[in-house]
Structure 1
Amino acid sequence: MDNATIDVAIALQHTAWNFREGRFQKGDVVLMLHYAYGAVKKSMEAYVTRAGNNLVEVPLPFPVNSNDEIISEFRKALERGKSNGNRVRLTVIDHVTSMLCVIPVKEFIQICREEGVDQVFVDATHSIGCTDVDMKEIGADFYTSNLHKWFFYHLQLLRRNPKLRHRNLKVLDPIYITL
């Protein structure tokens, strides 16, 4: 992959296909942190709201005083997303935000699984080099990171949960989705 923005587009296209093909229902929810990177937010708007689905932002506190504080806000946003009988189909979580806040992704993913969220995407662009990363242990359906931030090496990766590999995901250049 070229960069994390392309990886975001791949994961969101997967979600868009699930909506189009009827596996996800119109009006269902995609949830993201309000700390999300700008290109990720634009991609979410392009793939989620333009398709007539709901996008819920998790307003995290600043300054962050504890993981419990972050987790509490995340749980509240999940409940908002599930109101009116909707289902949260995808959650997009930064592992390390661009404002250098480390998000407790393992705890968030566990909560998502408990609450019936179908898929979890972790934008970990800043993670490798800042925190310990074990993608299998983290357990996200999609996990993207790159090495140019902290290792000064142009290498991009996207890990996709093996259960999702049956889908052929086409890449749409983000230039088309941010116009």
Structure 2
Amino acid sequence: MTIFEQDCYTHQGDPFNLRALKGQVLLVVNVASQCGFTPQLEELESLYTRYRDRGFTVLGFPCNQFGRQSPESAEAFCRFGEQRFGVHFPLMEKVKVNGPDAHPLFTALKGQAPGVLGTRAIKWNFTKFLVGRDGEVIARFGPREHGVTLRKAVEAALDK
């Protein structure tokens, strides 16, 4: 099963058709509202705005597994993202990214792109998975990786 075949839901609980994004480059991120990395939402929105016309989408999944830094509902997170950081990229359902209840999408992403020393677990909020047009993970980025590094990786994926 490819990344594009996973079942996902919007922040409102409606089915989200990942298959419709097949052929696009995706950046899938576990996001949080009360994290030191939360300002990256603005940067993610900037990437989305800059490259969406070239076939790029950011998907943000609120997650409360790390320090309980996203306690609100997915809908409340969406309002927060829009009001505080101008987020318009798709914000999805609230998920778990680790453990037996991890969302299957994140299980698949971690399987394709293990972390440091081959660990699969996501260590913190704002871990990013860059997915190519074919549904295969190109790269996994830790929370501290952003800016030029991320932009260059997105551009390279779009140019393939």
- Asked whether the two chains share a fold, i.e. TM above 0.5, the reply is no
Instruction: Normalising by structure 2, report the TM-score.
Output: 0.36
Instruction: Normalising by structure 1, report the TM-score.
Output: 0.33
Question: Whose radius of gyration is greater, 1 or 2?
Answer: 1
